[in-house]
Homo-oligomer: A and B are copies of this chain.
């Protein structure tokens, strides 16, 4: 009876092609029942606050935000985890640089999602993506100082770095302090580790404006 659908559900590629954030955004923007707003917001602003009900779903068009799950950039939805059940967020999400966002009304998104037969797959896959992000960040914390720092930098470089010649440069919003927080190390420790990583030529000594210049050969392309 459900075999056809089941076979499709069993195909990872079909699902990931049809139910990802990009397709979801396109659908939302095309729907007559959805009234997105555009928002530009400065850095260091809370978009979603732990324990505080919020009425919006956000989509990042430009910029980077941070949360207990890690950093999230362009193409990510925020707030979908409290869509069903309308519960309060478990963690705060704040901008670490100026961001451009779409803002959607939660109830509108919800109505739209449930008007689709397989709308829940969007929710489920995005939830899964976030879980995997958290799982990855969790794994960093099980590494020791220098290893942890390297793993964190390579990961950030893959997601947010800009390739330039043989280097990958992190956006300037990734300050020592922010990386220290994320890696759960003190700023002092980070400073010592940076020296170490420069000696190993993992980081380039050219660190004008305190930017992180990472040896490009150490950053696998995604």
Give me the interface of A with B, judged by CB distance under 8 Å: 1-3, 5-6, 9-12, 15-16, 68-69, 81, 84-87, 90-91, 107, 110-111, 114-115, 120-121, 123-124, 127-128, 130-132, 134-135, 137-139, 141-142, 184
Contact = CB atoms under 8 A, between A and B. Distances in A.
Contacts of A81: 128, 131
A182 to B, nearest CB: 10
A46 to B, nearest CB: 18
Contacts of A114: 2, 5-6, 9
A114 to B, nearest CB: 5
B107 A6 contact: yes
Contacts of A107: 6
Stoichiometry, copies per complex: 2
Contact of A85 (B9, B110, B123, B142): B9
A11 B111 CA distance: 15
Given A10-B86, A85-B11, A114-B5, A128 B128 contact: no
Given A15-B84, A114-B6, A141 B141 contact: yes
Contacts of A130: 131
A84 B69 CA distance: 23
Nearest to A16: B85
A149 to B, nearest CB: 15
A193 B3 CA distance: 55
A3 B107 CA distance: 10
Nearest to A11: B85
Given A114-B6, A127-B128, A184-B141, A135 B84 contact: no
Contacts of A124: 84, 120, 123-124, 127
